[in-house]
């Protein structure tokens, strides 16, 4: 039965994935400029050489023909070659993947570790000073853009106090140790977690307050159990179910935030690779990173759906988790 649900979600994901490829490819080709713009800066290049390069890249074909040529390569596992470096796009993405994975996973873990206790703490005494304070702080964190938080953190911790590096993944000199990696990751991880913590605290608080109104919670209280024992033993597990949903829905924003965060801190991940490719009109790399991130988000949404069953066994996967 669970296999039937997985197959159903995969069948829904397939047209979604191809729809993303169509939108990304045609929007990219609608953008002003051309991959050959960089060659125009060379005064020695002749129109004939420029035309030969355009034909070699397939840019002389209609956009629809270019798309299906690219799609055919994609279906065979070939993401093409970078216009600027002539390296396989898949290789370039795999080289950058560990950096992005470490940053994103650390951000999600930090957000959960901070937001769940704060949400419980705020819900334990609603309409109190602690509740109002956490609500106001959450709104502030959600409303502040990542790039602004990053610049503020760099100014404070790297320039004023000089206790953390301003960017990069490792120090330019010295061995690449685990401690050096952790030191460089503190600021990017904090910045990428900033908005997520604000949003997840609010969701955790709302979920906990809703669960605390259920009959079984009143029954547990009537048996003389303490407030915190009721919360941790009876309410927490059911309150986490909506939070799993929120985490899954936050994955696209985490991926988008990683692009900005990597650029601010010079973190050598897929996000910085994408920005470099956009600036250089490197279409194969832009499409490769876009499709890779889209596929990752689709897969993670499926994984989150399956996690519902682990968090709450009452959920019926066959009926779509409703």
DSSP secondary structure letter of residue 88: B
* Residue from 228, 237, 240 nearest 124 by CA: 228
319 pLDDT higher than 50: no
Residue with tokens 């989150």: 304
pLDDT in tens, 91-138: 999 999 999 999 999 999 999 999 999 998 888 888 888 889 888 999
d(CA 206, CA 263): 34
For the chain, the average pLDDT equals: 86
Q: Dmax of the chain from CA atoms?
A: 88
Map residue 321 onto helix, strand or coil: coil
**pTM summary value:** 0.83
Q: What is the DSSP string of 276-305?
A: HHHHTT-HHHHHHHHHHHHHHHHHHHHHHH
Per-residue confidence band for 84, with pLDDT thresholds at 50, 70 and 90: confident
48 pLDDT higher than 90: no
307 pLDDT higher than 80: no
Q: What domains does the chain contain, in order, with CATH numbers?
A: 2-75 (no CATH), 91-212+242-319 (1.10.3720.10)
d(CA 266, CA 318): 44
Count of CB atoms within 10 A of residue 125's CB? 11
Mean pLDDT of 134-153: 92
Per-residue confidence band for 322, with pLDDT thresholds at 50, 70 and 90: very low
Contact 270, 293 (CB under 8 A): yes
Per-residue confidence band for 39, with pLDDT thresholds at 50, 70 and 90: low
d(CA 140, CA 154): 19
User: What integer pLDDT is reported at residue 127 of this predicted model?
Assistant: 86
% of the chain at pLDDT higher than 90:
36
Per-residue confidence band for 321, with pLDDT thresholds at 50, 70 and 90: very low
* Residue from 297, 247, 308 nearest 108 by CA: 247
DSSP secondary structure letter of residue 124: T
Mean pLDDT of 154-183: 89
Per-residue confidence band for 315, with pLDDT thresholds at 50, 70 and 90: low
Record the tokens describing residue 1, joined without a space: 């039965």
Range scoring the smallest mean pLDDT among 190-194, 248-252, 261-265: 248-252
Residues listed for the chain: 322
More confident residue, 185 or 34: 185
More confident residue, 41 or 123: 123
261 pLDDT higher than 60: yes
User: What integer pLDDT is reported at residue 41 of this predicted model?
Assistant: 67
């Amino acid at each position: 039965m669970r296999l039937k649900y997985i197959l159903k979600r995969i069948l829904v994901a397939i047209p979604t994935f191809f729809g993303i490829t169509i939108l990304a490819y045609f929007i990219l080709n609608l953008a002003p400029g051309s991959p050959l713009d960089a060659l125009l800066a060379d005064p020695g290049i002749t129109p004939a050489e420029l035309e030969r390069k355009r034909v070699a890249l397939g840019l002389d074909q209609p956009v629809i023909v270019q798309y299906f040529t690219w799609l055919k390569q994609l279906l065979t596992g070939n993401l093409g070659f970078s216009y600027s470096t002539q390296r396989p796009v898949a290789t370039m993405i795999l080289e950058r993947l560990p950096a992005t994975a470490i940053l994103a996973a650390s951000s999600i873990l930090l957000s959960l570790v901070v937001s769940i206790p704060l949400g419980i703490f705020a819900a334990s005494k609603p309409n109190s000073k602690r509740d109002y304070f956490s609500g106001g702080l959450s709104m502030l964190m959600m409303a502040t853009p990542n790039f602004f938080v990053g610049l503020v953190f760099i100014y404070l911790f790297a320039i004023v106090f000089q206790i953390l590096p301003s960017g990069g993944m490792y120090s330019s000199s010295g061995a690449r140790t685990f401690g050096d990696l952790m030191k460089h990751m503190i600021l990017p991880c904090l910045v990428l977690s900033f908005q997520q913590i604000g949003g997840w605290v609010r969701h955790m608080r709302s979920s906990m307050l809703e669960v605390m109104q259920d009959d079984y919670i009143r029954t547990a209280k009537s048996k003389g159990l303490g407030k915190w024992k009721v919360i941790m033993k009876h309410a927490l597990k059911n309150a986490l179910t909506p939070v799993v949903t929120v985490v899954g829905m936050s994955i696209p924003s985490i991926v988008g935030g990683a692009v900005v965060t990597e650029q601010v801190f010079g973190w050598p991940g897929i996000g910085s690779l994408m920005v470099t490719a956009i600036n250089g009109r490197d279409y194969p790399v832009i499409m490769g990173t876009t499709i890779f991130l889209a596929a990752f988000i689709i897969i993670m949404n499926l994984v989150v759906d399956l996690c519902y069953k682990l968090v709450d066994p009452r959920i019926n996967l066959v009926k779509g988790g409703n």
